[in-house]
Structure 1
């Protein structure tokens, strides 16, 4: 039997807290799950530093990847099967792209990417196309199959319907992470009626459309996404941990460039610091490796690196105040920088403005840089209408970007009265601390 159609002799199932069961019948999917590159995702948390705020948020990128696969499997096997608009030949491609879409995420991924100027989607494609176990499995389907999977993830594949299943404003990726992250953080915001949404999905040439009768379920999904971003993903305490994590990596990178002698040689970081990281180097990185270095750096000679690592590992996080980048606030920030230096506290590492921004829903506006594929409703008369044209709720938030700014600092250092008492008092007054 041709590998692309080969089935397991017996269906395999994974017990899952979100979808109850994840079903695997395709030999190619089972083989991909068994690769070392996919198994590495067990050691990369889905929500980065969020576990320091919501203690249950210990789930991994592997959990999420299996969930995205299961949603796509249900769509193509249960919703799309037999419909003329769906090309059944794209089934395995859709499943593989769903399973592998996060393959290139690094440890504490988004913070890590910013510091070292990396792109996890680029690494995902390199892993899929490179000399890896994943590539070997995909090539067994067809010589050009790895390229097809890569193109779907890069959003350049010719069949836009396949792309939209894992990358659109109502895709399997978002539908899984909202529910999964809500479950593991213990919040109620991310819950919505996925079963209803899936029942009213219909395939069209370029994307999935939603029957008009399912509009209210989609409204609920969009509001769930909005609430999750502001109550979980942008939680100020998680952002404080992310600020410290980022500063640890910046400090280690700075010390390495300066020729500093580490007590524990940062072997795993060397190619990152040198700016020539390979896929092989990248795949050796996971959160266990990063946390090992943070732990040993608690004993480093460098005071700043040692302090930041102690803070992160023991959850001694920075406090924060609201910050609005107006002229008055920017002047205050300049004065705080001056006073921090005077107090002997390096503002580069201990006075940080962090901003979060989200656009819950938008539609394509000609001439703008980023094209956003809108959610379309299929009306009873066969007409297709963009969601915000039919929903007053969605119309009210369409195109409205919300941004939040916080100023982070170590309040404990400002309370230490052993030195620089007057300067620290001035800092506290500027920050309006009691």
Structure 2
């Protein structure tokens, strides 16, 4: 029997997965759940090909981690077998805590970030696997004493970002997201146990940073995908309100449990057995049931979501004034025959922002040809801005 399993991937070709603990992780129900968690939330409603999952992504990031460690070793970085195993396990498990529709519902089902959920799940898995995930957990948390291992999992130049840009670009068909992941990987090095990029890889780095900036506004924060995600959130908010007032909407029992007890789960871990069974299918099943709901708000939102009759979105430079919001609520209430409180679920406003490159923490450091180290922000003739871009949105059943 081979000592590893081969997985065929459309981005990288063949991915080798060693047998033993790696296959134990892959075969675990909690990991298999990632096959049913969409990578890009509702983006498939804009880009029909974007139906890939968190499972696809973590497998790709795992492959890039293997390659990066090989490159660093070949350049003289001493990495023990235990450290290599832990780094690969960390990247394989780094998204284990994502819930249905990934970031779209994060923080709205449970009062935790997906990172906090990931750490909790790894701790539970570590008990099952006799402590073999202890170092992997420290790397996920950014607490390993050899910082380059932490940086390979989570930094401004990590295997996570390199895979999701490559993969999301491939599945959406958005060519602006294409990056030179192979060249960037070959240009990696370490200095005093910190991750650095050799100077000759600077143009590949700038293409990577530019691609991420473009992908945010063209894919991740696309206004139509945002509209679908806000509709999804409106459904969840309405369900919470109904459950709180004693109603029992006809939705998946797992989702009902989470919505009813989410805040209570702050103080115990009883949520783990429920959350690890929850995926996109449970939410979609619930939304399909809601198309027959007696509650007009749920029924209307569910029908619009399933049939892609999404909110109309306007992006503006300034915050939305309260008078405009109140007027939109009044018009919506009249058109749909709802009370103003009910119409509020159909009028959404807020803001989104993105920073292409952060200079206040996690700087990418360049290893110059003379052996000196320079943060990218101080590199001459840099083309990527570190400024924050913020956009305000206003959405509803029509343009107001």
TM-score of the two chains, using structure 2 as the length reference: 0.91
User: For the residues of structure 1 that align with 2:140 and 2:116, how far apart are their CA atoms?
Assistant: 10
Check conservation: 1:268, 1:284, Cα contact below 8 A: no
Q: 2:298 aligns with which of 293, 302, 305?
A: 305
* 1:129 equivalent in structure 2: 123
1:397 aligns with 2:385: yes
Structure 2 unaligned blocks of 5 or more: 266-270
Q: Which stretch of structure 1 is more off in the superposition, 106-115 or 329-338? A: 329-338
Structure 1 residues 264-320: Cα deviation after superposition (integer angstroms, max 9, x where no partner)? 574432243222341111001000111111111111100000111111111111111
* 1:119 equivalent in structure 2: 113
Structure 1 residues 375-425: Cα deviation after superposition (integer angstroms, max 9, x where no partner)? 11111111000112114234x502x111112211112xxxxxxxxxxxxxx
User: For the residues of structure 2 that align with 1:337 and 1:262, how far apart are their CA atoms?
Assistant: 25
* 2:275 equivalent in structure 1: 282
How many Å apart are 1:32 and its aligned residue? 1.2
Q: 1:332 aligns with which of 297, 300, 324?
A: 324
1:375 aligns with 2:368: no
Structure 1 residues 333-379: Cα deviation after superposition (integer angstroms, max 9, x where no partner)? 34334444465443421110142211110122xxxxxxx21011111
* 1:348 equivalent in structure 2: 344
User: For the residues of structure 1 that align with 2:243 and 2:52, how far apart are their CA atoms?
Assistant: 32
- Provide the aligned length of Structure 1 versus Structure 2: 389
Alpha carbons of structure 1 residues 391 and 135: separation in structure 2 relative to 1, 3 Å: farther
Q: 2:47 aligns with which of 42, 48, 54?
A: 54
* 2:150 equivalent in structure 1: 163
* 2:58 equivalent in structure 1: 65
User: For the residues of structure 2 that align with 1:26 and 1:393, how far apart are their CA atoms?
Assistant: 44
How many Å apart are 1:86 and its aligned residue? 3.9
User: For the residues of structure 2 that align with 1:193 and 1:322, how far apart are their CA atoms?
Assistant: 32
Check conservation: 1:13, 1:21, Cα contact below 8 A: yes
How many Å apart are 1:261 and its aligned residue? 3.4
- Superposition pairs of residues 134-213 of structure 1, within 5 angstroms: 135-137=127-129, 139=130, 143=131, 145-213=132-200
* 2:268 equivalent in structure 1: none
1:239 aligns with 2:226: yes
How many Å apart are 1:215 and its aligned residue? 0.6
User: For the residues of structure 1 that align with 2:225 and 2:259, how far apart are their CA atoms?
Assistant: 25
User: For the residues of structure 2 that align with 1:205 and 1:30, how far apart are their CA atoms?
Assistant: 33
User: For the residues of structure 2 that align with 1:248 and 1:113, how far apart are their CA atoms?
Assistant: 14
Check conservation: 1:86, 1:203, Cα contact below 8 A: no
User: For the residues of structure 2 that align with 1:263 and 1:209, how far apart are their CA atoms?
Assistant: 53
SS at match of 2:197: strand
* 1:34 equivalent in structure 2: 27
SS at match of 1:14: strand
SS at match of 1:357: strand
User: For the residues of structure 1 that align with 2:127 and 2:146, how far apart are their CA atoms?
Assistant: 21
SS at match of 1:237: helix
How many Å apart are 1:153 and its aligned residue? 1.2
